[in-house]
């Protein structure tokens, strides 16, 4: 099932001296129920590609289709709403709101999702934290959580609106091996649920969890 389709995506960055082509006609189709990892050297354009797939960055040429809809035709507000419902982000530095509890952090994406009733938010958030084995830490603030625990809360937040796609930028970069395994196990579970998980990572450990490894080199994406 085609979830995210890249067709001849090109992206240039203009500097004073010259124009740098970061992506040179990237094409690939990402499907549900799989874990993909994207590797590449520093500056190869991995973050640029992730930004484009996350509808955070525009592209110069090509097409981006998510769930059968072309992104370029959307307004900024439509993209934001689409992002809220269809894509979940997980970051290397977790990026939890320090002023909110674990439960409150998970509920943040739900506030702008009209499809979720106010009375259901707490229940859904509790279930998601249960899923990532954080049910005993609902009222804890990020400061009181370990790195691994924070990342699990971040994953729960990414799942708040039941998105089809999870984009993870170096999700285990700040974690030890044990916690890394724990996070990757969660991703594995998400894959079984039918989600499309795309991870940008340098970790060797991740290979045993991924279904497809892609390398971005010289602006082109290739299967390894």
Partner 1 sequence: MKLKDLMKVSFRSARRSKSSILIMLLVMITSIACLFSLSYEHAFNTYWDTYINKNPELRIRMVEYYKMLDPRIVKGDSTLDPKEKLKMIDETTKEAKQIIATNKHIIAINQEIAFYSNIPELETENLSGDFEFISVPLKNDIPLIAGENLDAYNEKDKVMICPNSIYLDPKDRSQSVNIEKSQVNFESYLGKTLKIKVAYSDELEEYKVIGLFDTIDTYSIGDRCYMSQENIQYLNEKSNNANPDYESYIDSWHNNVNYIGDNFYITLDNMKNLNEVQSFLQEHNMYSNEWIGMNTMTVEQTMDTCSKISFGCLILSIIVVGINLLQNIEKRKKEFYLYHTLGYTQKDIIKIIFMENSILILIGFILAIGITQIGLTIYKNTTLAGIKRLYLMNPQVDIVSILISFLVSLIIPILITIFLLILTRKTNLNKIKE
The answer to whether 81 contacts partner 1 (rule: CB under 8 A) is yes
Using CB under 8 A, which of 57, 130, 177, 211 touches partner 1? 57
DSSP H helix total and E strand total for the chain: 6, 10
The answer to whether 56 contacts partner 1 (rule: CB under 8 A) is yes
For residues 28 and 212, is the Cβ–Cβ distance under 8 A?
no
Cα distance between residue 52 and residue 93, in whole Å: 20
Q: Which of 96, 188, 88, 199 is nearest to 146 (CA)?
A: 96
Q: Which of residues 86-125 bind partner 1 (CB under 8 A)?
A: 89, 91-93, 95, 97-100, 104, 108-109, 111-113, 118
CB 120 → partner 1: shortest distance, Å? 13
The answer to whether 29 contacts partner 1 (rule: CB under 8 A) is no
The answer to whether 162 contacts partner 1 (rule: CB under 8 A) is no
For residues 115 and 93, is the Cβ–Cβ distance under 8 A?
no
Provide the 3-class DSSP secondary structure of residue 29. strand
Binding site for partner 1 (CB under 8 A): 47, 50-51, 54, 56-57, 76-77, 80-85, 89, 91-93, 95, 97-100, 104, 108-109, 111-113, 118, 141, 157, 161, 169
């Amino acid at each position: 099932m085609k979830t995210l389709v890249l067709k001849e995506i090109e992206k240039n960055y203009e500097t004073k001296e010259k124009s740098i082509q970061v992506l040179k006609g990237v094409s690939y189709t990402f499907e549900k129920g799989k874990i993909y990892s994207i590797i590449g050297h520093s500056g190869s354009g991995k973050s640029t590609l992730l930004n484009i797939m996350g509808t955070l960055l525009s592209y110069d040429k090509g097409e981006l289709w998510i769930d059968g809809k072309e992104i370029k035709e959307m307004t900024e507000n439509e993209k934001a709403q689409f992002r809220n419902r269809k894509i979940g982000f997980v970051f290397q530095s977790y990026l939890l709101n320090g002023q909110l509890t674990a439960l409150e952090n998970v509920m943040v994406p739900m506030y702008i999702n009209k499809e979720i009733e106010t009375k259901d938010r707490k229940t859904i958030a509790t279930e998601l934290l249960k899923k990532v084995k954080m049910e005993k830490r609902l009222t804890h603030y990020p400061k009181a959580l370990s790195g691994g625990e924070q990342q699990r809360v971040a994953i729960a937040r990414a799942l708040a609106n039941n998105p089809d796609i999870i984009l993870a930028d170096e999700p285990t970069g700040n974690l030890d091996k044990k916690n890394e395994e724990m996070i990757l196990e969660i991703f594995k579970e998400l894959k079984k649920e039918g989600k499309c998980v795309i991870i940008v990572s340098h970790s060797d450990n991740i290979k045993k969890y991924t279904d497809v490894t892609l390398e971005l080199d010289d602006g082109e994406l290739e299967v390894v």
